[in-house]
Each structure stands twice: as C-alpha cells, then as structure tokens.
Amino acid sequence: MRLGPLIAQALEIAVALAAAPLFVGWVNQCRAWLANRSAPSMLLPYRNIRKLFHKDAVLAQNASPLFRIAPYVVFGAMVVAAAIIPSLAGRLPLVVAADAIALVGLFATARVFLSLAAMDVGTAFGTLGARREMMIGFLAEPALLMVIFVASLISATTALPAISAHLASEHLVIDPSLAFTAIAFTLVLLAENARIPVDNPATHLELTMIHEAMLLEYSARHLALMEWASALRLFNYACIGFALFVPWGIAARDIGPLGLTLAIPLLALKLAAAGAGLAVIETVSAKLRVMRAPEFLATAFLFAVLGLLVHVLLGGA
C-alpha cells in the first residue's frame, strides 16, 4: 500500500479535529456580532476543552461502565464519520470504505450511546433530554436519509465521494429538486446539532434543554470529549452539505500535495460562509416549543420528498 493516501487521510482527520472547535467558535462570534454583543474569542472552545482535560473527573455513585465509555464511543463515532466524509479529497482509503447510509448509521450509534448514558444515572433532566433527543432523532433520520436518496438517485450511487464528483462534473443547471433537498438538509442540520429553532446551545434553563440536559452529569475529560464530539458533529454535517450541494473544490482524483493545498483554503472559505449563514438563521428565528419540533422535521421530510418527486417527474425533461 502506498503511503501517500494514508498521509492524506490522516491529514483529513487532523483537519477535522482541529477545525471543529474553531468552527463552533466562529459561529458563536458571528452570532455575537449579529446580536450587537462584543464577541468572545474564536479560540474559546479550545481553551474550554483544554481546561476540562486538566480537571479531575467526578462520576455519580450509581454510574455504570456504560456512562464512562459513552464519551469515547460518541467521540470515536464522530472521528470515524469525519474520516468517511470527503471533506478534502474523494479517493482516500477510509472515504471509499463506507457509503452515506453507513454514515447515517454511525450518527445513530452516537445518538443511542449519548441517550443511554444520559439515562444511566437516572436523574430527571438526563432522562428528559434523552427522550427529547430520541424524539427528534427518529424524525430527523428519515429526512436525512431522504436527502441522501435524492442525491443518490441523481448520481446513481450511495457513495458520498462518487455523488459529489458526479454533481461537480455536471453542467450548472437550475435544479429545483436539489434546491428542495438543500433546504431539507439545512433543517435537519439545525435539528440534529441542537441549533436554535429546535434547541438552544447557549441555554441555562434545564427545562428547555435537549442536548445540554444529557451532558449535565458529565465533568472533566468526559465532558471535554462530549463537547468536542458535538463540535465535530456540526463540522461533519457542514461537510456532508458541502459534498452534496457545493461539491466544487474537493480534490476528486488528485490527492497529491497540490490538490490538498488547494482543497484546504476552499474548505475554510466554505466553512466561514456556512458558519455566517448558520448564525444568521439562528439570529432571525426563535426557539420552537418542543411540541412544534415534529412539525419542523415533518417540513424537512416534506422538502426532501418533494425534491425526490420533482426529480422523478422533471428529471428526464
């Protein structure tokens, strides 16, 4: 086996690990600007993670081993997902190893472990958060799969690098089905990453929490891994979005130094734009009541299905 692809793969994982907290910091900074507050440093998530790694972990007395291994499983799943998604290049050893459906399964695994760990200690808030997370998860997953199916139908494959290579090579056309699925994907991204219309990442009110409520019992290195994992999840979702809807600039064939050095600044540019867009969406929308979340996700599913139907009907025109 040649060494080049392995180095490129390692580089892709390293970029994901390093850029994920920075991306969260960038979104927070944009949100602060839009709300006319003075922004926190973009490096704050790094400092937070470092601080948490230096602390001593405290575990609840009745915590089972599951509670302790869950952060490693969740973090591991997110790192593997980052390796599968073609964020920099298309032909890396791990990128071609699994397709988009396996990727959705990986996200589901992380979600199941997170929810089980939240229920493990048996506090009211943890259970509440886990139940809400599962409610949102089981509605978001079909919508995400439907988005992937539309892209697969267009390019006749479920492998993400092949999809993005196919979409990048096409003529630039106004494709209503891709536009609908892009909207559906954005809605799923907001719901799955605990962003504002569904959950507030900055909330301190336990009753409205979804994601944060599940992390209340964690401390120190476990909490650091969980926070890093959720930053990675946001980064991964953004990269899936890029692979499907703005596939230009991902090094499809050339994984030499030149292709990668071109891909990294382009990825940074796309991330900066996506983060700003995310901040705008979060600033202009208000948090939904939890009972409205199914309606929100039904809308996402509807958009994805409409994309599918429009493609089936108008695609052959």
Partner 1 sequence: MTHIPFNQQLLNACAALLLLLSFAMLSQRRIVSLVSLYAVQGAVLAVATLLLAWRTGEGNLYLSAFLTISLKVAFLPWLLHRLIRRLQVYWDTEPLLNISGTMLIGIVIVVFAFGLAQPITQLASTSMRNAIGIAVAVVLLAFLMMITRRKAMSQVVGFLSMENGLFFGAMSATYGMPMIIELGVALDILVAVLVLGVFFFQIREQFDSLDLHHLERLSERQ
Output Rg (C-alpha) for the chain, integer angstroms.
19
> Taking CB under 8 A as the rule, does residue 313 contact partner 1?
yes
The candidate with the shortest Cα–Cα distance to 234, out of 265, 264, 211, is 211
The correct pick among 174, 207, 284, 291 for binding partner 1 (CB under 8 A) is 174
d(CA 50, CA 58): 17
The torsion of the CA quartet 124, 45, 71, 19, rounded to 10 degrees, works out to: 140
The two structure tokens encoding residue 11: 């580089």
Judged by CB under 8 A, the residue of 2, 37, 171, 204 near partner 1 is 171
| Beta bridge partner(s), residue 89 | 251
Pair of tokens at residue 32: 């602060």
Between 3 and 174, name the residue whose CB sits nearer to partner 1: 174
- Biggest distance spanned by C-alpha atoms of the chain: 64
Site residues for partner 1, 175-204, by CB under 8 A, read: 176-177, 179-180
- Closest to partner 1 by CB, 5 vs 294, is 294
Give CA–CA dist 155/92, Å, rounded: 20
Asked if 247 and 165 touch (Cβ cutoff 8 Å), the reply is: yes
Site string for partner 1, 272-301 (x = CB under 8 A): ----------------------xx--xx--
Considering the rule CB under 8 A, would residue 143 count as an interface residue with partner 1? no
**Residue 150 and residue 21: Cα distance in Å, rounded?**
31
Cβ closest to partner 1, residue 174 vs residue 202: 174
Residue from 3, 173, 202, 286 that binds partner 1 (CB under 8 A)? 173
DSSP 89: B
Determine the 3-state secondary structure of 159 from DSSP.
coil
Cross-strand pairs, 251: 89
Of 160 and 167, nearer to partner 1 (C-beta) is 167
Shortest reach from residue 145's CB to partner 1, in Å: 15
Closest contact distance (angstroms) between CB of 155 and partner 1 is 10
302 part of the interface to partner 1, by CB under 8 A: yes
List the one residue from 2, 38, 61, 316 that touches partner 1 (CB under 8 A): 316
Q: Which of residues 151-170 bind partner 1 (CB under 8 A)?
A: 170
Q: For residue 145, state whether it binds partner 1 (rule: CB under 8 A).
A: no
Query: Which residues contact partner 1 (rule: CB under 8 A)?
Result: 170-171, 173-174, 176-177, 179-180, 294-295, 298-299, 302, 305-306, 309-310, 312-317
